[in-house]
Amino acid sequence: MLAGDLPEPWLQEMPYSIFSIDEFESASGIINTAGIPEFIYGKVNDPELRRWTYDSYCKHRYGNELAALPRLFHNEYDAMFAALANQVRH
């Protein structure tokens, strides 16, 4: 922040996070029900949880919600691997 001459309070006012695409898929579903502030601030404001990956955080804090999320792109996933399996057989 200092090197970019950006105000340090922005770190508290506008926290950011980096997710893997797999984590983002799960987090998006939870954010949809819990809301962005509860989800993000629940992690970044806790000294212990802020060091956890989002995957671990979601499983720990939102285990029930995570289990209830629908699988996204399930049909596309199956179709992609079915096509690959057919290529290998031929």
- Residue 5 inside a domain? The answer is no
- Residue 72 inside a domain? The answer is yes
Tokens of 26: 């799960």
- Residue 6 inside a domain? The answer is no
- Residue 67 inside a domain? The answer is yes
pLDDT band for position 90 (cuts 50, 70, 90): low
- Residue 3 inside a domain? The answer is no
CA-to-CA separations, 75 to 17, 20, 29, in angstroms, rounded = 29, 21, 18
User: How many structural domains are present in the chain?
Assistant: 1
Euclidean distance between the first and the last CA atom of the chain, given in angstroms as a whole number: 56
Q: Is the pLDDT of residue 60 over 80?
A: yes
- Residue 54 inside a domain? The answer is yes
The domain in which residue 50 lies consists of 15-89
Three-state secondary-structure class, residue 4: coil
pTM: 0.67
- Residue 1 inside a domain? The answer is no
Q: Among the listed ranges 50-54, 64-68, 78-82, which one has the minimum average pLDDT value? A: 78-82
- Residue 68 inside a domain? The answer is yes
